[in-house]
Amino acid sequence: MKKYFLLSFSFVLMGCQQESSTLTPLFSLPNKLKEVSGITYVPGANLLWVLEDHGNPNAIYSINSNGKIENILTIANTDNIDWEDITKDKEGNLYIGDFGNNDNERKDLSIYKIDKNALRSKSATPVYKISFTYPEQKDFPPKKSEMFYDVEGFFEFKDNFYLFTKNRSKGFDGTAFLYKIPNAPGVHQAVLMGEFETCTVYNSCAITSATISPNDEKVAVLTHDKLFLFENFKNDDFLNGTKTVLELNHFSQKEAACFKDNDRLFLADERTKSIGGNVYNVSLKMLKSKS
C-alpha cells in the first residue's frame, strides 16, 4: 500500500541509473491494474494470479503469458481492507493475505483460502478464514519506534503460513520479524520465529513480498531494489540458512514476487506515473553471477 511511502521515492527514481539493470520487463500489466501488491504462479494453467491492495475491488485476476487478463474472480463475503499478498499451497489452492497494517492499529488481520476448483468462476466464497494476532503487540498503535506489525509478504509451507514483517518504525534500522501461523480456520496467535536485519535505508530495505521455491529449498524476500535469498536451511528454520543479498540494480515500487521454478522468479511493480506497472522474469543464478 502506497500510504506513507517516502516522498523521496520519486527523486530516487529520477536519479537512479538503470544501465546496469538486471531486469527487463516480460510484459506490462493491464492499465486497470495499477497497484498490484501480490502475485503467485499456477504452472498447470501457466497463469499468474494477482491482487491489488487497499482501495481496490475484492477481486483477484488471472494474467496470461501475454499480460492479458484471463479471468476476474470476485471474492464474495470479503472486503479488501488491505490485501497485500497472494500465495498458494501444493494442491493449488490460493490464499489472500489481508494483513496490510501501515498504522499498526488493525485488530482484524486475516487470510482467506480460495479453492482451486473455483478459479474459473466469476465469484467464489472463501473456503475458510484464518484470523490472527501478534502476541508481542500490546498497543494499537504502538509507539512510533515500535511499529513492526505491518506485513506485505507471506507464503504457505507444510500447512503453515510464514509472514515477513515490514518495519515502519521511526528510526528505521532494517529489523524484520518472521511469524508463523497455522493454515487452519479460526483465530490464532502468530508465533515469532526470529528476526533478521535488511539494511538501514527504508526505500531499499523495507520488505514488500516473500516467496518459497517449488522444491522448498529457497526463500526469497523482496524489497524495491534487491532480494534476500535464504538457502541451506533445515525444516522451517529459514533465517538460520545461508543468506545472500542479490542486487537487482533496478529501483521501482516492487511489491510482488513468486517463483516460476526453482531458479526463476516473477517480480511485479506498481505503476508510479510513467514508471513501473510491469512483470519481470529474473534468474537467481544470473543474479548470483553478478553479485
| pLDDT attached to residue 225 | 97
Looking up residue 233, the CATH number of its domain turns out to be: 2.120.10
Q: Is 194 helix (H, G, I), strand (E, B) or coil?
A: strand
What's the whole-number mean pLDDT along residues 252-276? 95
Pairing of strands 123-124, 69-75: parallel
Residue 130 resides in a domain = yes
Residue 193 resides in a domain = yes
What's the whole-number mean pLDDT along residues 234-238? 98
Going by pLDDT thresholds of 50, 70 and 90, the confidence category of residue 34 is very high
| pLDDT attached to residue 20 | 54
Q: Which of 8-12, 38-42, 122-126 has the lowest mean pLDDT?
A: 8-12
Residue 18 resides in a domain = no
Q: Which residue has the higher pLDDT, 132 or 12?
A: 132
Residue 2 resides in a domain = no
| pLDDT attached to residue 10 | 44
Reference 16, options 248, 173, 196, 217; nearest CA is: 248
Q: Using the predicted structure, report yes or no on whether residue 91 has a pLDDT greater than 90.
A: yes
| pLDDT attached to residue 160 | 98
- Other CB atoms within 10 Å distance of the CB of residue 49: 25
pLDDT tens-digit profile of 136-195? 999 999 999 999 999 999 999 999 999 999 999 999 999 999 999 999 999 999 999 999
CA distances from 119 to 60, 88, 129, 184, 200 (A): 9, 12, 17, 21, 41
CB 13 within 8 A of CB 231: no
Looking at every residue in the chain, the average pLDDT score rounds to 93
Q: Which residue has the higher pLDDT, 62 or 7?
A: 62
Q: Using the predicted structure, report yes or no on whether residue 280 has a pLDDT greater than 90.
A: yes
At residue 289's C-alpha, the angle toward residues 287 and 291, to 5°, is 70
Percentage of the chain exceeding pLDDT 70: 93
Tell how far CA 166 is from the center of its chain.
10
221 forms beta bridges with: 210, 228
Going by pLDDT thresholds of 50, 70 and 90, the confidence category of residue 274 is confident
Residue 111 resides in a domain = yes
Residue 6 resides in a domain = no
Domain count, the chain: 1
Owning domain of residue 65? 25-290
Residue 15 resides in a domain = no
| pLDDT attached to residue 19 | 40
Residue 8 resides in a domain = no
What type of residue is 189? Q
Q: Using CA atoms, how far apart are residues 111 and 234, in angstroms rounded to an integer? A: 26
